[in-house]
Amino acid sequence: MQAERNDMSKLYGALRHLGQVATVIGLIIGFPAQAAEKLVLAFGDSLTAGYGLKPNESFPAQLQAALRKDGVQVRVHNAGVSGDTTAQGKARLNWVLRSFPRSPDLAIVELGGNDMLRGIDPAQTRANLNAILADLKRRKIKVLLAGMLAAPNMGSAYRAKFDPIYPALAKQYDARLYPFFMKGVAGNRTLQLKDNIHPTAQGVAVVVRNIMPMVKGLL
């Protein structure tokens, strides 16, 4: 009987050892891969949200797919809200950031288009973006600022005040600037929905292809 107990004790000891080995192997193989996954916050308006598109056709979804295809372990969170102005973005930033278990490795800030379309005073747009970038800098989150350009019909006076907002703030906060989010898409009706404002899935693919090198560099 004692011999049987000794044998069982040895067996349990061996099993515990195997369990410890399995745990170590799991730590080596599994956990670092999860820890290495980068978190990107795509924070913007309808251009980010994917207005008129399927979920997998949105900017965050296509960017994530393209980065992963390139070997970057990343999750791109879609925090775009259609219709958002810079004021509304500023109001919800803290709530969005608090929803994550940790700080994002990169925030892509794409706001201001709705301010421009509504003719909001560029001084207000600048103040709101300033507050957003200041908050992200305080939290030590890298920022890629996606610029916007005023439409020609807004007039030269408005454009002279609006367009310089993005390069000035990027310089002030040491953020990377992607000068015009809709580069290669704006004005090309084959890449835009019928409203001639929002990109099609193919238009988003152009945006992703253009912005990818900068995003990869920051990650």
Q: Where are the alpha helices (DSSP H) in the chain?
A: 2-29, 31-35, 46-49, 59-69, 86-98, 113-117, 122-138, 156-162, 165-172, 201-218
From CA 138, how far away is CA 164, in angstroms rounded? 23
From CA 143, how far away is CA 136, in angstroms rounded? 7
Catalytic residues: 46, 195, 198
Q: In DSSP terms, which residues pair with 39 in a beta bridge?
A: 75
Token output for 180: 């015009």
DSSP run (H or E) holding 41: strand 38-44
From CA 54, how far away is CA 185, in angstroms rounded? 18
